[in-house]
Chain A
Amino acid sequence: MNEEKFFDRLREDARQLRYEPDAFVTTRIASRVRERIAAAQSPSVSLFLARWLRPIAASMTAIALAACLSLAWTERNSTDAATFDSLSADNTIDISFAGDTYRVGQ
């Protein structure tokens, strides 16, 4: 038998060595693949919480910062006003006119 014929027959017999998984195996593989893909797509509990908590925490921080800044600004303004009043009260000029004394703040 020549080389070509030998290998043709060998190839023919060797093809029978292909492994044929049964329907149960193929179904199991498909469902496991589906499961793993779904697991990779759906977040875990910690990831889920992190996804919600992070923006909430960021919003709360922004609100707190805004509150602090506005409080500081309000306090500074009220202090300025008080200082003006006290300055006004201290720098007064008394004007006497026709027997009456008038006090005028600068």
Chain B
Amino acid sequence: MSVAAIFPEGSVNALPILDRLTRGVMEAATPQPNDDPLERRAIERVQRGDSGAYDYLVSKYTKRVVSIAWNIVRNAADAEDLAQEAFVRAYETIGRFRAGERFGPWIYRIVTNLALDVVKHRSRFRHEELNVAEPAARRDSADLRASTSEIVQRVDRALESLPEMQRIVARLSLVEGFEHAEIAGMMNLSEGTVRSHLSLARAKLREQLADLYE
């Protein structure tokens, strides 16, 4: 099931998701001031209708956005599609973006929610995927760098063995390096829920990888 099939361009069904995403951002507890003057200026220009200024924001955040998407959906093609979709949606709702805040948390939140919807969609149709010779979720290792060491591959396998929410929270924390509050904001969860998922994930990882760091 491709991302394009879940989020067709101009889809009417996408509007509630978009509204949920942008509303969530507006209600974020701790707005972070933007310390990048170029980014601030680019946002202001985009809000005034200069779409060319959006290139700066896309080039600044593409790598991180793709990485976040990939760590959730575990498929390079889907991650690329999700990043593209996230940037378009952020552009469409840039008018609601509060001046002076950082663009990063906003775009991370949009891409995380889009990726979570893909994961939910996949699990709903998992029985269909079992009949496919090479399901999308199983191609993950092929996307990793060839130079990835045996230890890192074991860490990757251990993370993949976790239940879905624990896996996503653990990846956003350990791989992407986000704080609890940031993950909570990105996933529309309370900080307590994030801590709980992470605590369970850590216990399982400790058990599985005990021999690795002796």
Name the prevailing secondary structure of the B interface residues: helix
| B76 in contact with A19 (CB, 8 Å) | yes
Stretch from B35-43, B65-73, B181-189 contacting the other chain: B65-73
Within 8 A of A (CB), among B162-178: 171, 174-177
| B152 in contact with A26 (CB, 8 Å) | no
Q: What is the CA–CA distance of A40 and B91 in the complex, to the nearest angstrom?
A: 11
CB distance from A7 to the nearest CB of B (A): 7
Across-interface contacts of A29 in B (CB, < 8 A): 58, 62, 66, 80, 83-84, 87
Stretch from A10-18, A66-74, A83-91, A96-104 contacting the other chain: A10-18
Q: How many A-B residue pairs have CB under 8 A?
A: 105
| A14 in contact with B175 (CB, 8 Å) | yes
Chain A residues packing against B (C-beta within 8 Å): 1, 3, 5-7, 9-11, 13-21, 25-26, 28-30, 32-34, 36-38, 40-41
Evaluate whether A17 and B144 lie within 8 angstroms (CB atoms) in the complex, with A1-B213, A10-B155, A40-B92 already known. Answer: yes
CB distance from A14 to the nearest CB of B (A): 4
| A10 in contact with B54 (CB, 8 Å) | no
| B88 in contact with A33 (CB, 8 Å) | yes
Q: What is the CA–CA distance of A5 and B80 in the complex, to the nearest angstrom?
A: 35
Evaluate whether A18 and B54 lie within 8 angstroms (CB atoms) in the complex, with A25-B80, A37-B91, A40-B92 already known. Answer: no
- When the two chains form the complex, which single residue of A15, A16, A32 contacts B84, counting CB atoms closer than 8 Å? A32
